[in-house]
Amino acid sequence: MSFQIPDVVKGAVDVDPWLEPFANELANRRYNSLNWIKTFDENENGLLNFASSYKHYGLQPNPQDLSITYKEWAPNAVKAAIIGDFNNWDENSNVMQKDDYGNFNITLYPSPNNPNDYLIPHDSEIKIRLWLSNGEKLDRLPAWITRATQPAIDLSKVIDKSKVDSSYKARFWNPKSPYVFKHPRPKLESNDGLKIYECHIGISTPDPVVGTYKQFTQNILPKIKDLGYNTIQLMAIMEHAYYASFGYQVTNFFAISSRFGTPEDLKELIDTAHSLGIVVLLDIVHSHTSKNVLDGLNNFDGTDYQYFHSGGKGNHDLWDSKLFNYGKYEVLRFLLSNLKFYLDVYKFDGFRFDGVTSMLYLHHGIGAGGAFSGNYNEYLNENAQVDKEAITYLMLANQLVHQCGRLEDRNFITIAEDVSGYPTLCLSADKGGVDFDYRLSMAIPDMWIKILKHLSDSDWNMGNIIHTLTNRRYGENCIAYCESHDQALVGDKTIAFWLMDAAMYTDMTILKPLSPIIDRGMSLHKLIRLLTHALGGEGYLNFEGNEFGHPEWLDFPREGNNDSYHYARRQFNLISDDLLRYKQLYNFDRAMQHLEAKYHWLKAPQAYVSLKHEVDKVIVFERANLLFIFNFHPTISFTDYRVGVEKGGVYKVVLNSDRKEEFGGHDRIDEAASRYFTTDLRWNNRSNYIQVYIPNRTVLVLALEE
């Protein structure tokens, strides 16, 4: 009797027949999420309504009667009161009522002395005071607070920080004139590939200060539009008390970082991006959270298990942070509502989920447990070291985001940061997958750094490079990138720094002849980026500043650097200096993005690679009716180099990295006189060939004449 594949995962097995032995386990994981959906339908009037809990929890002003309702889940507490500036921090003034589910509730009406205004003034400080059964009192920031601000004191000037209250302050954010969105969300067409500009608001200024939402809106969004990126990914938006954590130690999940400005400022930024046709993604951190007690979720109601696993299971030892219990009803309410909050209130268009590898596995990708061989048993055996509750949460999160998108007639986007290669991660829910739209191709930047760090130019292996760039799961979309924020951090080096750090501070001026180091560095910087872009995935990502070869690493102010902001910035001023070569790298990146926007190779089928010549160091492939010809050879240029191509006709140059004025090359190709006629003879398994002059360390992109 043949094995019957469960219907819920039949689509996944059709895509990858090797999944068949694991079909029952895959089905069980899908059933787990479907059971939660059924529960939400029965108890909460559906997933969307359940995830709209942000409208009921926390502080909710009612403009009709000027009342404020406040709801907080703290099951271990026996008594609670809201305290703040508005009641002179009197714990007896506004005591809350506890229901059978561990929620405390209160409704605050205007004072008789001021009947025409809310009882709590806009932007005033508040806390919740909790009493435990042993009589202990705990002061906490409301878990659903939408505004938290830094302490007024400058901690960098305090000698003994242990004697200072450095915790963040919860604020009741209720402006009289909230920002009103003016522009609809952009709608990416079916052939628009994601071209993502990964950015951090605070460092998006040449000055050694913390940048603001308004500065980003005015100064950086126009550059992103000019470059041709259609998506931005905002990092470090969720409030985090420690700036140097890069936003990955979240303290307040519903509050956006106050160090960059106000919620209204961020709404204006997103609205402006939308007006430019730019989609906005949030780098969401649901994989863990800060251990902070006074301004975070840790020990909120006096237990270590309210939002997290108890004991050691609730701690991430490598990150020194807390781990959510994804199997808990109220934790799902909190996290799913957090997603819908950012979609609804701030108009984000999707999420890049951080730390998905840590979520997927009980070992969190640490140590020997994180050495993934690709054997399906590591992921899909019923006894595999996977966190099935976390997988269920990710399925629910993706279903929620995509359901919200359908309501807006948009494709809201989800991207997984996963290094493990978990099968079905980016297959749709109707096929039985986890339902992410894309995963980050994290092996690609690792490859480039290893090559630049350990190999001389003559030892580059074209076959290995091609294998890494094309080795992705069939039917599961990938975001390719040469380097992200990880490679920009102090302790690592960007590609530009690996290539040129010995000469970047002295030889990037056009007042000097092009030095060998800068010549090599700029040439390979362009080739590496275009090869990754055109061959590596169905989307592309760049970390801000790397497109023009930013000359320094990224290091946030911290105790180890005397709280310096010198390296916590991006020197966009360099591309405005006509005496420097950075603008030429910027120009190439712009040309690359706009060429993709015209020919749509990111949404085209995977490229056909017709040549990867180890001696000549030449790579040739076709994608989206374009012919890409790369010559990585350090010294040899080839005349009349024969290149196979499937479609016959006359080809012209549409991009040439050797342009001197525009891209910093040597102008060795006369583009105006370069028309390439195909010969009707098979070459390299293609139906035709052309013969081209391809200079060393140059890439040519050819297209049929229209």
Distance CA 634, CA 457 (A): 7
Distance CA 211, CA 489 (A): 18
Percent share of the chain, pLDDT over 70: 98
The stretch 274-285 carries a mean pLDDT of: 98
Distance of CA 345 to CAs 212, 256, 333, Å? 20, 11, 17
417 catalytic? Reply is yes
Q: Do 56 and 45 touch, CB atoms closer than 8 A?
A: no
Query: In the chain, count of helices (H) and strands (E)?
Result: 18, 29
Which of 285-299, 522-536, 550-564, 573-587 bottoms out in mean pLDDT, i.e. has the lowest?
550-564
Residue linked to tokens 């990754």: 532
385: number of Cβ within 10 Å: 13
Three-class secondary structure assignment of 15-63 = HCHHHHHHHHHHHHHHHHHHHHHHHHHHHHCCHHHHCCHHHCCEEEEEC
Three-class secondary structure assignment of 357-372 = HHHHECCCCCHHHHCC
| Local structure of residue 101 (DSSP, 8 states) | T
Q: Do 275 and 183 touch, CB atoms closer than 8 A?
A: yes
Crossing angle of helices 388-407/329-344, nearest 10°?
30
User: pLDDT tens digit string along 22-42?
Assistant: 999 999 999 999 999 999 999
The DSSP H or E segment spanning 629 is: strand 626-631
3-state helix, strand, coil in the chain (%, to 5): 35, 20, 45
The stretch 463-486 carries a mean pLDDT of: 95
Question: Taking the chain, what is the end-to-end CA distance rounded to the nearest angstrom?
Answer: 57
Single-letter amino acid code for the residue at 230:
N
Torsion sign over Cα 444, 448, 454, 458: positive
Q: Do 394 and 34 touch, CB atoms closer than 8 A?
A: no
The stretch 385-413 carries a mean pLDDT of: 97
pTM: 0.96
Strands (E), 462-502: 478-480
Alpha helix segments (H runs only) across 257-366: 263-275, 329-344, 356-360
- Tokens for 564, please give them: 């310096």
The stretch 509-535 carries a mean pLDDT of: 97
10 Å CB burial of residue 307 (0-12, 13-18, 19+) is buried
Q: Which of 198, 354, 435, 483 is catalytic?
A: 354
> With b meaning 16 or more CB within 10 Å and e meaning fewer, what string describes 338-364?
bbbbbbebbbbbbbbbbbbbbbbbebb
Residue linked to tokens 């995977």: 606
User: pLDDT tens digit string along 144-180?
Assistant: 999 999 987 665 565 555 554 578 999 999 999 999 9
pLDDT for 158: 56
159: number of Cβ within 10 Å: 6
* Closest CA relative to residue 597, chosen from 230, 222, 231: 230
Highest-confidence segment of 141-145, 151-155, 551-555, 562-566: 141-145
pLDDT for 161: 53
Q: Which domains does the chain have, with CATH numbers?
A: 53-159 (2.60.40.10), 194-276+441-502+538-604 (3.20.20.80), 608-704 (2.60.40.1180)
20 catalytic? Reply is no
Helix/strand/coil for 5: coil
Helix/strand/coil for 651: strand
The stretch 636-657 carries a mean pLDDT of: 98
| Local structure of residue 96 (DSSP, 8 states) | P
Q: Do 199 and 178 touch, CB atoms closer than 8 A?
A: no
pLDDT for 617: 98
Within a 13 Å sphere around the CA of 494, how many CA atoms are in the beta-carbon half?
A: 26
Single-letter amino acid code for the residue at 672:
A
Q: Which of 72, 268, 417, 552 is catalytic?
A: 417
User: pLDDT tens digit string along 83-120?
Assistant: 999 999 999 999 999 999 999 999 999 999 999 999 99
Distance CA 326, CA 317 (A): 18
Q: Do 413 and 437 touch, CB atoms closer than 8 A?
A: yes
pLDDT for 155: 56
How remote is the C-alpha of 294 from its chain's centroid?
28
pLDDT for 1: 40
Crossing angle of helices 462-470/516-535, nearest 10°?
40
